[in-house]
Amino acid sequence: MLIYDGDCGFCTTTANWITSRLRVPLSVVPWQQIDDLGELGLSETEVSTAAYWVDVYGRVDRGHRAIGRALTMTSGPLVAVGWLLLTPPFSWLGAAGYPVVARNRHRLPGATAACAVGP
């Protein structure tokens, strides 16, 4: 499951873009539609500041790793991009870059006023 901030236009645009490229069934849901985040081991504060991936075993990845996991479920070159986001030294770049994107999501395509809230 990929969890994103449904109030953020950039996050929603990105989640829809990933969803349209999935090669396997995958839940891509805004955190606002999840009844009990605590059941997933997450808090509202966490999910409002980053994307999260929760696998079938309950393991959680945050930020660039969440996006990387989701991209590995797509097809074509995006799969490779996903694996690069999960593999050092490229994952280190993702870890450094994700917070920059998150802090500036209100300046990115698809952004809304709600995107400025958070990190």
Backbone dihedral angles phi then psi of residue 36, each to the nearest 5 degrees: -135, 90
Quickly state the pLDDT bin for 76 (edges 50, 70, 90). very high
Q: Count up the domains in the chain and report the number.
A: 1
Q: What angle do CA 89, 93, 95 make, to 5 degrees?
A: 110
Residue 68 CA to residue 24 CA, distance in Å, equals 15
Cβ burial 11-31 (10 Å sphere, 16+ → b, else e): bbebbeebeeebeeebebebb
Q: Domain containing 62: what range?
A: 2-116
Inform me whether the pLDDT recorded for 92 exceeds 90: yes
Residue 68 CA to residue 63 CA, distance in Å, equals 9
pTM of this prediction? 0.92
The whole-number pLDDT of residue 119 equals 43
The whole-number pLDDT of residue 109 equals 81
pLDDT tens-digit series, residues 28-69: 999 999 999 999 999 999 998 899 999 999 999 999 999 999
The whole-number pLDDT of residue 84 equals 97
Inform me whether the pLDDT recorded for 117 exceeds 70: no
Q: What angle do CA 93, 97, 99 make, to 5 degrees?
A: 135
Inter-residue contact 4 to 11 (CB < 8 Å): yes
